[in-house]
Structure 1
Amino acid sequence: MDALSGLLVGPRARSAFILRSVLSPPWSVRVQDQAPLSVVALARGTAWVIPDDGDAVRLLPGDIAIMRGPAPYTFADEPSTPVQVVIQPGPRRTTPTGEHLSEVVDLGPRTWGTGDPCKAAVMLIGKYQMSGEISHRLLSTLQPLIVVPHDAQPSSPLIGMLTEEVTKEEAGQQVVLDRLLDLLLVTTLRTWFARPEAEAPAWYRALADPVIGPTLRLLHKDPAHPWTVAALAARAGVSRSGLARRFTDLVGEPPMAYLTGWRLDTAADLLHEPDTTIAAVARQVGYASASALSTAFKRERGSSPQQYRRSREP
């Protein structure tokens, strides 16, 4: 597993909130549902995404926006259009003053709005509703708003497939939509991290280094191995002190501290699997026992693995 794959392996939508929004001008929707991560693909028309802290960005057909929660943001036909609909946790739709909104029309399966799909702006919206569906390490690398233009993306059928599937009501439909959302997120982030404005994390930039890149791949590929700085240096063909210094300079922390963080992040992701025991998680990430993992987990994250697992239950 390369380091980018290790970062992106975490997304696992589980009954994600996915819908098609059809809106005719003038329209403005404020989103304050506190979802940890949202993905919006503009399928038709134009729209503006307006973060509370930052500049508004215009979206064209095929553009994809990723919003990291829980900070609110607004989508509108124009930045100056007053907010008409507020998306609250649940999600539920209200007026700006909090009253239940009845004017917005349900237009079919997973479709709502106020316009003609042939003339209005059409957005495909997917939301990861639980923090456990997205790894902590992935979320921590993302800016609050990411926009990947259509012309920067490789040719992909995903938006077309999601457009077709979102309104279907067939056996297993939610699973199909969950996996399409995961694929759309992963492919968009892969494109984003390759862009110069992405401000990719230090460890990602360090992948290009001829010494630290292979070292990171070793740690990501096999976090359960009993790695030492000396063993890593021997594999890299450099001195122990040279590796430690170079790793810290490029990644921002020493090799063993990075490995501990990677092990615990991986453990946190694994703890969301309901049938996986804490002892099994410990073995997969390099701890000799459940108690050893619990000690490290509580020291770094402030709670035991069991407490963490309970706090993330739906």
Structure 2
Amino acid sequence: MDEIVKEVKEVEKQWDETSFQCQGYIKAIEEYGKSRDMSGEKNSLPRLNGLAQDGLVVLNSLQLKLDTLAPQLPTYDEAQSAQALVENWKHQCQSLRAALRNANLQAKINIRKTAQKERELLLGGGSESTMRRRNLQTKAGMTSAAESITESLRRTRQLMAQELERSASTLMTFEGSTETLKKADSEYKGHRSLLMRTRNLLSTMQRQDVIDRIIIVVGFFLFFLAVAYVVSKRIRILKLQRLVIASIKSGVVRRAGVRQQPAANGLDVLQHDIVPPTIGANPAEHVLHEEL
């Protein structure tokens, strides 16, 4: 059986017992004062009222407890039945309070009637009346002292009952807070694993970023070296071309012959024999072709 169902059954059992006791106290209050010797009563009127009030306080606490447990029952029908029982208990508490008020009124009427009879007996003559007056004086002092002690004890008991109810509500609040903390702890553990995975992913991304930066720097450096190498090669080729052209021109000038022939009109004509150089005969031009 579910724990909530067991607790509801226990609350119903306590209600039945406490309600029966309250009805007994109310009945005793209603019958109080009918006998002439009220000191012979088992309990005084203030004590009976205190016991009845304590019983009503306990019934009220049981009603609130059942009202709290009703929504937690496993089935809808059980919850509705518990709610109906709570409403029935409210009407019973109201009926018991009304019965307690009526019983106190009846007790006052009984006390008044009994006091009237006692007064009539005391006003009569004889030794019996004298003895009764003495007994009443002694018993009245003892009764007043006992009633004052009983009243203080009743107030103490009510305060203890209120503190007990307050402690029970505080304990229920603590239990709810404990459940909330457990849920928060479980959620924190789930988020903690997610945070660990996120942290590892961020570390991996940072390492990858550093590696990418290194690759970019190395690639840029290699590209710069390649550009410098190509530019240096081009500059060397241009210099070599200039040297080859200069050497070719100097060779042509050396091979050119200047010849003087007499003309018919008596003028000298300069004839230049220009011999073009061959590619295979010039070593500088051969080096140029190898560089290209």
Instruction: Please indicate, yes or no, whether the TM-score normalized by the shorter chain is above 0.5.
Output: no
The structure richer in strand per residue is 1
TM-score for both structures, normalised by structure 2: 0.19
Higher relative contact order (CA closer than 8 Å, sequence separation 6+): 1
The structure richer in helix per residue is 2
TM-score for both structures, normalised by structure 1: 0.18
**Rg larger in 1 or in 2?**
2
